[in-house]
Chains A and B, each alone.
Chain A
Amino acid sequence: MRHLLSIEDLDRADVERILDRARAFTEVSEREIKKVPALRGRRVLNLFYEASTRTRSSFELAAKTLSAEVINFVSSGSSVEKGESLKDTVQTLSAYRPDLIVVRTPHVGAAGLVARWTPAGVVNAGDGKHEHPTQALLDVHTLRERLGTLDGLDIWIVGDVLHSRVARSNVLAFQMMGARVTVCGPPTLIPRGFEALGCAVEHTLDRLGEADVVYALRMQHERMTDSFVPSLREYAAVYQIDGRRLGPRQVLMHPGPVNRGVELSAEVIDSPQALIGQQVAAGVVVRMAVLYELLAGRASGDRAPTTRAGGMEYA
């Protein structure tokens, strides 16, 4: 495997192998000297066209813990602002001979394009509203560590599904790992045709009690100005996960950053059912495992990545 562009690049055995390795890496994070030489001499380039705190820093921490060299390239103040195209930027940065490029962009399929324009491996760290496969892996990891398996779980993903790459990757990953997934949100924030991903669609929390896992999505303030919801106050009244709605045997997840008092009430964020801190910690070890898989794991090129997220090379 050379690239991780979509959850669909992986099968269940791949996910289990990567997450077993993530579990093994957890021990490294607990040492006094948090460093192993696994990727010494390898170059990882973080190419971020969108603001990101936790994803970028956890990739950086993961790479450094494995002793790789890390270069951060963010759009602000760079050649991108001087009008350089994605293609030219990628080809320019490829001259630095990175072994892996971690890329986040606001555009669907951009990670696939990067993979076509560079000889380096590519990890999609978020491409528009499309996918965020390492988030899905760390969420699966968090659930495996807490509940042992996802087989047979009922997982509800609640909130703004329309604008969420996390929702897409997680629906696919949770189902691959044996869970049943329901997405729930206002009809304006569930894309038409979303059932095609294999999940159920609900518009109220009436049956939330059936869920083993409640996964809340971030509700962005600007959605109100586009009339996706009439007001955040009303949204919170109908969709907020609070102590009344969250049962004692359910666990709660959120990809962060949380809008306290909008999609989640303060009491559930701070409750023992919340796995939000575990998700952040899992981010580092899972990304270590992904970097290891792509750079030192199986021989490269043993499986073709999906090209769907790519884009045909021109002429």
Chain B
Amino acid sequence: MSPPRLFWKAPPPGDVLVRGAHVLDPRAGIDAPHDVLVRAGEIAELAAPGSLEAPAGAETLDGAGRHLLPGFVDPHVHLRTPGQEHKEDLDSGTRAAAAGGFVAVVAMPNTNPTVDDASVLRALREAARREARVPTGFFAAVTRGLAGDALTEMAELREEGALGFTDDGKPVWRAGMLRKALQYQKLCGGLVALHEEDPSLSGAGVMHEGEVSARLGMTGIPSISESTSIARDAAIARYEGGRIHAQHLSARESVEAVAEAKAQGVAITCEASPHHLTLTDTAILEALDTRLKMNPPLRTEHDRAALIEGLRDGTIDCIATDHAPHAREEKEVPFEEAPMGTTGLETAFAAVYSGLVRPGILPLGLVVEKLSAGAALLGLPSPSVAVGASADLCLVDLEATWEVGEAGYESRSENCCFAGRTLHGRVLATLAAGSVVYRERAFALGVA
């Protein structure tokens, strides 16, 4: 029996009736208005709009004109706990997640100390049981201290609930070390997620290497820094029969490398972020804003188009935010000095909906599916709008517009690359395991 791998401070589940929302769940094959009744944490009934009565004491949500979607799952967030709570903590980070429609998030281990031994993971797990507003899972490090020199106690970490292993923020730059981790994966399982970057190519780069970096005089990070690492790691995974996941794809060459590896039968999956799917490095030419600095960097339209195509044809398996909070004083410095990272949980849906769905580039169903597809890659249940399934849902208003940052953020940090942009699509409420974990301030909740 495998140990639990998601932890949170679950409120007691109540009864909730969502009236008349347009239910869209591509996995369950639903695309029509329904009443949805949630009882004891599960979806109890799905029926024609207006046909269900709210049980006494049930909360009611008016879904008319809104969409009810399977809740989102983010396999890649930085909650900065332990050690960097001035940027984010389990409470603020999961509040941001709930506000973005996420019903589960998975935290990266590049904390201080790093999550590289069982005692740190145990403490984190217990903290999540006290503080996390949505179910939260944890990756453990591949190498001790993310230093790339020695494997962590992978088997023990898996026993303590690690969902997988990653040195995210850094690549596992020694091929031999990755090979040993994949050999150990046969013993203990767990996804090995890889930050794909060749430091000898990325060097001191601070943005995409191309016309914009040439114009600005900034050191560039070439796209081959990412794609050659993916090709190398895919070859190692193929040789060892290991399963790897390439994090935050940014370059066209990387999409091609993943497609090639998949065609050869390598057990490789990958993710793309809302910012790489909707922004390019020309945004930095318009405003040299440190919120637009992240690793991997925003690249060109040519790369963005390849990411979108990869999402459409299935080369890219899921959308992940790489939510990376940084404090104001850390980001309020010259661009080259600023730390890499943008927050993303609160804007993920609105960004991809505004940037990809509204302009007719990708269908809504596909984007919704990709926003929770990370769950299956980690062996977690995929949220589904089906009777008997755990009630992991989010209610969105596709027509609502909002200016990012205008009303502040749930996250402790404000380094959002979409700040100041007006987006379509607002999350009105989020249910995790049947509990309302988020409700937009202006959105009324009725009680029957």
* Interface of A toward B, CB cutoff 8 Å: 85-87, 105, 107-110, 112-113, 128-131, 165, 168, 191-194, 196-197, 307-312, 314-315
Contacts and interface: CB of A to CB of B under 8 A. Distances in A.
A172 B277 CA distance: 32
Contacts of A129: 217-219
A194 B214 contact: yes
A311 B289 contact: yes
A6 to B, nearest CB: 10
B218 A85 contact: no
Nearest to B329: A85
B289 A107 contact: no
A291 to B, nearest CB: 24
A113 B414 CA distance: 18
Given A112-B288, A193-B211, A130 B216 contact: yes
B419 A192 contact: no
B328 A108 contact: no
Nearest to A49: B334
Contacts of B291: 312
Interface core residue of B212, B217, B331 (most chain A CB under 10 Å): B217
B210 A193 contact: yes
B288 A108 contact: yes
Nearest to A197: B215
Contacts of A312: 287, 289, 291, 419-420
Contacts of B419: 312, 315
A168 B215 contact: yes
B330 to A, nearest CB: 10
Given A107-B337, A192-B209, 19 more contacts: A86-B333, A107-B336, A108-B217, A109-B335, A110-B334, A130-B217, A130-B218, A193-B212, A196-B215, A307-B287, A308-B286, A308-B287, A310-B288, A311-B290, A311-B335, A314-B328, A314-B331, A314-B332, A315-B328
Nearest to A161: B214
3 tightest A-B contacts by CB? A129-B217, A107-B334, A196-B211
A193 B414 CA distance: 32
B222 interface: yes
B335 A107 contact: yes
A113 B209 contact: no
B294 to A, nearest CB: 15
B235 to A, nearest CB: 27
Contacts of A131: 217
Nearest to A196: B211
Contact of B222 (A128, A192, A309): A192
B253 to A, nearest CB: 14
Interface string B261-293: 000000000000000000000000111111100
A219 B405 CA distance: 45
A222 to B, nearest CB: 13
Given A85-B329, A87-B332, A308 B285 contact: yes
Contact of B218 (A86, A108, A194): A108
Interface of B: 209-220, 222, 285-291, 328-329, 331-337, 405, 414, 419-420
A51 to B, nearest CB: 18
B214 A128 contact: no
Contacts of A87: 332-333
Contacts of B328: 314-315
A109 B334 contact: yes
Nearest to A117: B332
B418 to A, nearest CB: 12
A295 B76 CA distance: 52
A105 B334 contact: yes
A193 B213 contact: yes
Nearest to A105: B334
A113 B287 CA distance: 11
Nearest to A310: B288
Contacts of B337: 107
A130 B215 CA distance: 8
Nearest to A169: B217
A296 to B, nearest CB: 30
A128 B333 CA distance: 14
B288 A309 contact: yes
A107 B287 CA distance: 15
A310 B290 CA distance: 11
A311 B405 contact: no
Given A112-B288, A312-B289, A315-B414, A191 B213 contact: yes
A109 B414 CA distance: 21
B5 to A, nearest CB: 36
Nearest to B208: A193
Contacts of B222: 192
B335 to A, nearest CB: 5
A87 B290 CA distance: 14
Given A108-B335, A108-B336, A314 B214 contact: no
A168 B217 contact: yes
B207 to A, nearest CB: 10
26 contacts: A85-B332, A107-B334, A107-B335, A108-B216, A108-B336, A110-B334, A128-B336, A129-B218, A129-B219, A130-B216, A165-B217, A191-B213, A192-B209, A192-B222, A193-B210, A193-B211, A193-B212, A193-B214, A308-B285, A308-B288, A310-B287, A310-B288, A311-B287, A311-B289, A311-B334, A314-B332
A128 B222 CA distance: 20
A56 B343 CA distance: 40
Contacts of B414: 314-315
Nearest to B336: A107
B218 A197 contact: no
B295 to A, nearest CB: 17
Contacts of B290: 311
Given A109-B334, A192-B209, A309-B288, A315 B405 contact: yes
